[in-house]
A and B are shown apart, each in its own frame.
Chain A
Amino acid sequence: MSTLTEEATVPVTEPIRAVGPVETTTLLRIATAGSVDDGKSTLVGRLLYDSKSVLTDQLDAVERVSRDKGYDVTDLALLTDGLRAEREQGITIDVAYRYFATARRSFVLADCPGHVQYTRNTVTGASTADVVVLLVDARKGLLEQTRRHLAVAALLRVPHVVVAVNKIDLVDWSQDRFAQIAADLRRAAGALGVAEDAVHAVPVSALRGDNVVDPSGNTPWYDGPTLLELLETLPAADSAESGSFRLAVQHVVRPRTDDDLFRDYRGYAGQVAAGVVRPGDAVVVLPSGRRTTVVGIDTADSLAAGRDTLPAAYAPQSVTLRLADDVDVAHGDLLAAADDAPVPTQDVTATLAWLADRPLAARTTVLLKHGTRTVKAQVREIPGRIDLDSLHGDTVGLTATDRLDLNDLGRVVLRLAAPVPVEPYARARRTGAFLLIDPDDGATLAAGMVTAAG
């Protein structure tokens, strides 16, 4: 197996990018996390390079800059470090989004910086991820930073965690070393309440390419999938997303047209946040609590085809629903399955990831955005800061504090100006999440995850 530098100078002989049948190709969202210098950018570069997602002009540019800087090897981190300040300082400041595809799947990869002070970026990347790829240096094993990233993945309920045990070549391809790290990892993940089948470990050498895309001859004791095979086959299904039907109303569609067909049309547009909805289903409009029935599910395509309704809509489809009664429904309302609907409340206890430079103190008034509704909220109490090292399943160790600082995770008690139909995040990843926003300048202050409503 050749190193990256050698390969990079060899003309590419296999130019066809993998293109799967468009009807069956699916999308998987990945977030990467790791500590400084564990080879994360190299691994990302390797995935992009070996899946033929790096094109020659990009590679030329990276090679040119590497040479100009006097590096001996092509620095694939330059592929992802897009900002001037990042290239100048040789560090990754911000989440970069990368795209690659195989015949089976297309991937959106949120490449998150590893520095401790950028934990907020890991939170951002993990919020939409189906899987977190966590880098561990085989020589160092699980570090405090690894545990923190694992805790963030657990807290944000990312469905899968894949640990790439990197630099396995530097521990002489040791099966024992890999087994020990994998066991440490499962213990740490188990303690955080992560299901055993949600954790996967792969021994890799990102620099040399072992087990990243192609199986390695150096690890005959490993019979599992390569990293890419694993990413291609992980079920993207998120159990939290398969819950009861939820749809936050974005927009009321009223054509106001002379066209007879649509003169009286009135539909409620939004994205299905969870579950499935069918015509005839009883739904409740929240926060008002009015009950009604879904009579039709439309998209532009179904209307153009002259269909009365779609048979069903699933998360995360964007659709327009028609309802039986002329009930008052507006932007900001949540439609929920009538037999399992959340109860709107003004009192919310939540875990916050504090994302702003300005600290949070109790009694601060902020805006809370949940689904499509934004209400005023006051921080009544800050019961404590969450010590990530103390996370244990659902038991959280709190350290007393009177404020939250940038990158802190903490528990807060909020009082809302109007009832909002929140749910525990552990149960519903979409309707359990909210943002806190500064009412003066509009800055995003915090990512919130509901722990208790009411």
Chain B
Amino acid sequence: MSTSTLSLLDALESEAIHIIREVAAELERPVLLFSGGKDSMLMLHLAVKAFAPAPVPFPLLHVDTGHNFPEVLAFRDRTVDRLRLRLEVAKVQDYIDDGRLRERADGTRNPLQTRPLLDAIEAGKFDAVFGGGRRDEEKARAKERIFSLRDEFGQWDPRNQRPELWNLYNGRHRPGEHVRVFPLSNWTELDVWRYIARERIDLPSLYYTHEREVFDRDGMLLALGPHAQPRTAAERASVRAEKVRYRTVGDMSCTGAVRSIALTVDDVLAEVAATRITERGATRADDRMSEAAMEDRKKEGYF
């Protein structure tokens, strides 16, 4: 018996559980990045399964940009309470309020997350940080290891990555350094949705089709709200109600919605299978900044 007898989802689940257990066994203070979005919900679900019937032996961390969808934050808190976990929240707003960070001209706060994240890692003395990143999301992520070393400034050096062999992961590091760990590295968007359907994982409602006030910006549909207001006459003229859902959930100011009729997880599955545009390409303004936008942010310490 071998890989061939395990279905795709069972093989991916087994690999992720092995990775999560390895971190808990070999590193002192792991933490799991948790936003309430689908990838972090999936990662948390796998962590719960990895240690059952015992509780998850590490806390959660969320870097809140202050521009998150309120229903996602409410979902995040309900989930943490239900599983009786400990959640730390690092707030970008606190940094802006006391002048440690300045608002960007374009209003996007995604790149501002790096500093609060690194401060939270240092303050919590975390030496392993689980992230929900997948290699199919983006070109720079496609090159990243499952255990990815960060130096004492939180930086990723793509030219100097450790080779990763068999299923032997190496989380050793010098004091001040830490590892980012990506248990979902080998999952695709389709695998994520198939698994969410199979395991009946609860998600924030905005992953499913609902009606919302939106407007057009740079070919994306942004939700009208306190953090995204039309700036030009053309943007103002485009405001209307649409039936939409979200493929990724990030900042309201830079995450686009997609027109959809998918009301259930099975509808979403059919839609994802038929799509011709990648998840991030469809919905994330921050990745459109340049050909190497993600690589540059990762080098600075972004997840």
Given A22-B7, A25-B7, A101-B190, A84 and B174 contact (CB-CB distance below 8 Å): no
| A235 interface contact, C-beta 8 A | yes
**Interface segment out of the listed A175-183, A414-422, A441-449:** A441-449
Q: What's the dominant secondary structure at chain A's contact region?
A: mixed
A-B contact pairs, 29 of them (CB 8 A): A16-B273, A19-B273, A22-B194, A28-B3, A83-B140, A85-B159, A94-B143, A96-B139, A96-B143, A97-B142, A99-B135, A108-B186, A124-B165, A128-B165, A237-B3, A265-B54, A269-B50, A303-B53, A314-B6, A315-B2, A316-B14, A316-B15, A318-B17, A372-B25, A429-B166, A437-B170, A442-B172, A443-B162, A447-B163
- In the complex the two chains form, is B274's CB within 8 Å of A300's CB? no
User: CB within 8 A of A314: which of B1, B17, B140, B275?
Assistant: B1
Rounded to whole Å, the gap between the CB of A339 and the closest CB of chain B is 18
| B158 interface contact, C-beta 8 A | yes
Give A434 to B142 CA distance when docked, in angstroms.
Answer: 25
- In the complex the two chains form, is B14's CB within 8 Å of A257's CB? no
Question: What chain B residues lie within 8 Å of A276 (beta carbons)?
Answer: 1
Question: What chain A residues lie within 8 Å of B52 (beta carbons)?
Answer: 253, 298-300, 303-304, 320
- In the complex the two chains form, is A242's CB within 8 Å of B1's CB? yes
- In the complex the two chains form, is B158's CB within 8 Å of A83's CB? yes
Query: Interface residues, chain A, CB within 8 Å of chain B?
Result: 12, 15-17, 19, 22-29, 55-58, 61, 65, 80-85, 87, 93-99, 101, 106, 108, 120-121, 123-124, 127-128, 130, 235-238, 241-242, 250-251, 253-257, 259, 261-262, 265, 269-271, 276, 298-301, 303-304, 314-318, 320, 331, 355, 367, 369, 372, 429-430, 433-435, 437, 440-444, 447
| B96 interface contact, C-beta 8 A | no
Identify the interface centre among B7, B24, B163, B173: most chain A CB within 10 Å of its CB. Answer: B163
**Interface segment out of the listed B29-37, B63-71, B86-94, B276-284:** B276-284
Counting from the closest, the 7 A-B pairs by CB-CB distance are A442-B172, A82-B139, A57-B281, A300-B49, A300-B52, A236-B4, A318-B17
Given A120-B163, A303-B53, A22 and B3 contact (CB-CB distance below 8 Å): no
- In the complex the two chains form, is B3's CB within 8 Å of A26's CB? yes
Which residues 43-85 in B have Cβ within 8 Å of A in the complex? 48-55
User: CB within 8 A of B53: which of A24, A65, A255?
Assistant: A255
A443's nearest neighbour on chain B, judged by CB, is: B162
Identify the interface centre among A23, A99, A123: most chain B CB within 10 Å of its CB. Answer: A99
- In the complex the two chains form, is B278's CB within 8 Å of A57's CB? yes
Give 1 or 0 for each of B141-164: 1 = CB within 8 Å of chain A CB.
111000001000000001101111
| B10 interface contact, C-beta 8 A | yes
Question: What chain A residues lie within 8 Å of B7 (beta carbons)?
Answer: 22-26
- In the complex the two chains form, is B136's CB within 8 Å of A99's CB? yes
- In the complex the two chains form, is A98's CB within 8 Å of B142's CB? yes
